[in-house]
Amino acid sequence: MTLLEFRSPVFLGLILLIPLCLYMHTRIRSVIQYSSLAIVDQVSPSWKIRLVHLPSILMAAALFSLVIALAGPRSPDKETLVREQGIAIMMVLDHSGSMQARDLVRDDTSVDRLAVIKEVLREFVSGDNHHLAGRAHDLIGLIAFAGYADSLCPLTLDHGNLQVMVNDLQIVTSRSEDGTALGDGLGLAVERLRDSDAESKVVILMTDGVNNAGAISPDQSGILAAQMGIKVYCIGVGSKGVAPFPSIDPFTRRQTLQPLRVNIDETILKQIAEKTGGRYFRATNKDVLSEIYREIDQLERTEHSETRYLQYTEHYATFVLAGLCFMGTGLLSARSMFQTLP
């Protein structure tokens, strides 16, 4: 049996005021003096006399119903299964210092690589871009890596929470945390996907550098992904050769852009994609990156389920409607068949 609970039970204390309101409404406001009540006592009371307090009782019921509605009655459904057609996707994002490069937006050097990636990723998940349909039915998780890998969001259908995690992701600023632990990032994604019951499991791995940190090599992680039947789509992000990076002029202390050489280990990324049945892409600008995600958007789909907790059925509307009905009936009866002298 489903139990009823309240979102704001503190409002239930207002029920204690209802008897006072009922008393104030039914108390005698005027008296007519008779020399004797003997004649009145001999008269049998009519149904109107018997029901004279009905309007007050209806008003009390109305107040009771409205107080219950104010407290937010709801019934929990903690065993609801959400079944959808989709796949399980782990997004693995590089947020190392090299993501500060300003080379993915043509004629605009104010936007760094990570900002562009986050924008395209949001469009991929929500379908805000007319080229991308969105992945409303997919379980999607988020892993970020620099000098080490960190699981920011587990596989979930709650894409609103995922979007918050994406928005909050920043480029590392501490030298001790910087680096490119590519193997650790992919290995952590494989571990998170291992427990999923989805038949199709995918990793979308984005990096702009060469593996130079971490405990697991990219090749080892790629082999593990292949053994688990996980496809890995690798995306090398950034221009080829040199890219403009922000730098502080030591004399003027103003930020300028300096061209620096960039390098992406495309060989290992291609090997990982080939071993796992995925593909390797190179995104040299935002338009190409959006096109890559449009291709990935055509992935296969399979049914999966996710248990969502803290789901409730709200019942306040029923109590509001009952309260209004009681109040309307009470006011109407008080002004008609049960109308009294002042």
Pairing label, strands 139-145, 230-237: unpaired
Would you say 335 and 97 are in contact if contact means Cβ atoms under 8 Å apart?
Answer: no
Query: Which of 123-127, 172-176, 207-211, 284-288 is least confident?
Result: 123-127
Q: What is the tens place of the pLDDT at every residue in 30-71?
A: 555 555 556 556 556 665 566 666 777 888 888 888 888 888
Residues 135, 280 within the same domain: yes
Provide the domain count of the chain: 2
Q: Could you tell me the pTM of the whole model?
A: 0.64
Whether 63 and 89 map to the same domain: the answer is no
Same domain, 154 and 13: no
**What pLDDT is recorded for position 1?**
45
227 and 197 both lie in a single domain: yes
- Cβ atoms 232, 273 nearer than 8 A: yes
User: Whose CA is closest to 213, among 272, 145, 262?
Assistant: 145
Asked if the structure places residue 34 within a domain, the reply is no
Residue 163 lies inside a defined structural domain of this protein: yes
- φ, ψ of residue 228 to 5 degrees: the values are -85, 0
190 inside domain: yes
CB 99 within 8 A of CB 113: yes
Both 162 and 269 in one domain: the answer is: yes
Whether 66 is in a domain gets the answer yes
> What is the domain-level CATH number for residue 137?
3.40.50.410
Q: Are 91 and 193 in contact (CB under 8 A)?
A: no
194 with 68, same domain: the answer is no
Going 107 to 111 to 117 to 120, the CA torsion angle's sign is negative
Q: How far apart are CA 89 and CA 279, in angstroms?
A: 15
Domain span at 63: 5-27+45-77+311-334
Lookup: tokens for 153: 């969001």
